[in-house]
Amino acid sequence: MKQYILGVDIGGTNIKIGIFDSESIELIDKIEFKTPKRDQDQSIFLNLKSEIDQLIKNHKLVYEDVIGLGVAVPCPVKNGYVFSCPNLVWTNMDIVKELQKSFPSNIKISVSNDASLAALGENESLDMPYKNAVLITLGTGVGGGVIINGNIHEGSMGYGGEIGHIRVFDENEITCGCGSKGCLEQICGTHGILEYTQKLAKNSKTSIDMNRLSVKSVFDAAKDGDNLANKVIDRVAKYLAISASILAMIVDPEVFIIGGGVSRAGSFLIDKIEKHYKSEARFSSGHIPFMLAKTGNDAGIIGAAYLVSQQIKKSEKTDAW
């Protein structure tokens, strides 16, 4: 009998659900809906169950056909437990326990951080997945995930992979959203890129239309040779390289994967990062390659599906023993 796995990515704006073949982890179908804003400690789980009910029905399946449910959430997670999740107004919540209330006992449920699962999804989607890899996601903020020996690294409290909050500079005294100062996210996140562009534009000429300023417009101008824009992007690349050089000495990955919205800049950004990385890296870690993420917005649901698949296989081996 063919069996299936569900992969879910719960975001602050939208929730995505994918249904996968349990053997190949091939994505069969996916849906997306708005994340409810009120009473999220209950409404998210109720809406999720309702949407999954409909997805299963659409494919003429029953819950006995489903063996696993993997879930990505936008906050630190340890063994399925969330201490605090500002994006979803969750506090001290056992996500696995909450989900088990709604789904049959035959379904294995696994939960972890969304960036960590994006890293797993990206890595496992490669023709030859790496044993050790680091994903750095660039968007509104800077996130990441660490893969060690094929598994995500949560850490003791679930903060493993919070790459955006590595302290890398002392250029100003502005406090980051995390409460610290000098975080990578303050330079390479959307706000940091735009703020630095505006700062330079006060005293330098640029082709960028400051009334329509966006990260894309900065990258487009840099690609066209705008000096100011290139200075902004070069700064982003430099500090990403510094952070990667630090991570290389701790994790020693086989590859750095660059994802998130900013990664749409493509090889233009990768080339700049690699240039700085070779001068920042120590020992032979300078040979670690950088590559662009490939799975886009599906990384989270793919990673969630792989996570629960891994845990099902581990349980089967334990039971066999």
Domain with CATH 3.30.420.40 in the chain: 4-120+297-320, 128-293
Per-residue pLDDT of the chain (321 residues; tens, 9 = 90+): 799 999 999 988 899 999 999 999 999 999 999 999 989 989 999 999 999 999 999 999 999 999 999 999 998 999 999 998 877 889 999 999 999 999 999 999 999 999 999 999 999 999 999 999 999 999 888 989 999 999 999 999 889 999 999 999 886 678 888 888 899 999 999 999 999 999 999 999 999 999 999 999 999 999 999 999 999 999 999 999 999 999 999 999 999 999 988 888 889 999 999 999 999 999 999 999 999 999 988 999 999 999 999 999 888 766 655
Place of tokens 């066999």: 320
Q: Are 113 and 73 in contact (CB under 8 A)?
A: yes
56 C-beta neighbours (distance < 10 Å), count = 17
Place of tokens 């703020």: 195
pLDDT given at position 94: 94
- Cβ-proximal residues to 19 (8 Å cutoff; 6+ apart), any chain: 4, 5, 6, 7, 27, 28, 29, 30, 55, 56, 59
C-alpha distances (whole Å) from 13 to each of 43, 115, 119, 162, 265 are 14, 15, 20, 21, 24
- Cβ-proximal residues to 266 (8 Å cutoff; 6+ apart), any chain: 292
CATH topology for 4-120+297-320? Answer: Nucleotidyltransferase; domain 5 (3.30.420)
Pair of tokens at residue 58: 């659409």
Pair of tokens at residue 102: 């709604």
Class of domain 128-293 (CATH, top level): alpha beta
| pTM summary value | 0.90
129 residue type, one letter: P
Torsion of CA 56, 25, 45, 59, to 10 degrees: -10
Q: What is the DSSP letter of 263?
A: G
235 residue type, one letter: R
E strand or H helix at 70: strand 66-73
For the beta sheet containing 4-10, the strands, ordered from the edge strand earlier in sequence to the opposite edge, are 27-34, 14-21, 4-10, 66-73, 108-113
Beta-bridged to residue 102, according to DSSP, are none
